[in-house]
Every structure is written in structure tokens, then in C-alpha cells.
Amino acid sequence: MSSFGEDLRMERLSRGIALEDITAKTKISPRHLLALEQDRFRLLPGGILSKGIVRGYVGAVGLDQDDWLARFTKACNASGLSNDDDRNWTAFASNVGRARILRREAAEMRLRWAGVLLLLLLIVSGAFFTARYYGFRAGWWHSIMPWPTIYSFEAWCSHLWQAALKLLHLG
């Protein structure tokens, strides 16, 4: 009984198809196609990708994909290369999904805290301006806030300019 790779190679040659034609059609690397024909399964990427390479090769040659995938799995197991990679890929995919969920939850949590801080800022500023408004009307605001109140923009700019000059020791 011949091996999986030999049978695959014989089917390809009987149909007169070159490896370059399969590479051009499937975009599978020639080294992977050769590894498949030579039963060197350890050189294949593994798991789902190896099965994809077998599907592409067999499809390009025009053979039954399910039958050849079953033969490939049997040949892998016979060569001592376990086909547990499917479970590893499943675990990998579930970990990627879990990581995306955790990243999304972290972003949502940051957004919630930003909303809480914004709401807190609005409440504090609303309380301040409410107290200031009623304080001015009642006349007690100046006793709480002793610094001089600047009433015009020009006076504020002049005050700021004088403070800057004092800082720079020019005035």
C-alpha cells in the first residue's frame, strides 16, 4: 500500500498538473505542497491550516475533498502527528473572543467613569454658580469670597497682564 503523499502525487501527475499550476491557482506555497506529497506533515502549519492546504490541493487537482481529508487525517495519525491541533485552535479562538470582550468591558468602564466625573463636575459647578447667584442677590457673597471681583473683560486682561509682568520681574 502506498502512502498518502505518493497517492496524491500520482493523482496529480495522472491528470498532467504541475505543482506550479496548483500554486498559481490556490496561492499555497510550493514547499507546503511538496511537504504534503512527501508525507512530511510536520513541515505543514498544522490544524485547520493543514486541512485547508489539503482541501486546496485536492480541489485544484479535482478530487473528492472529504475522502482525501479523511485519508490525510488517518495518515497524520499513523505518522505520529496527532490531530489535536483542532482543539488548540478552538481554545485559541475562544481566548481571542474572551480578550475582545474584556477589552470592550474595560473601554465601557472608562467611559462610565468619564461620565461620572463629568456629571460630578456639572453638579459642583451648578452648586457653585447657584450659591454665587443667590449670594450676590442677598449680599453675602463678598464675605465668603474675599478676593476682588472682576466685572469686565478688560479689567480681567489688565489684571492678568500685570500678574504676568510680575512673574517675569518686568513690572
pLDDT tens-digit map of 6-56: 999 999 999 999 999 999 999 998 999 998 889 888 888 877 788 889 999
Last residue of a domain, one of 58, 83, 108: 83
Same domain (yes/no): 94, 151: yes
In-domain check, residue 79:
yes
Q: In 3-state terms, what secondary structure has residue 142?
A: helix
DSSP codes joined into one string, 61-124: HT--HHHHHHHHHHHHHHTT---THHHHHHHHHHHHHHHHHHHHHHHHHHHHHHHHHHHHHHHH
Domains identified in the chain, total number = 2
**pTM as predicted:** 0.49
Same domain (yes/no): 33, 53: yes
Domain residues for 160?
A: 90-164
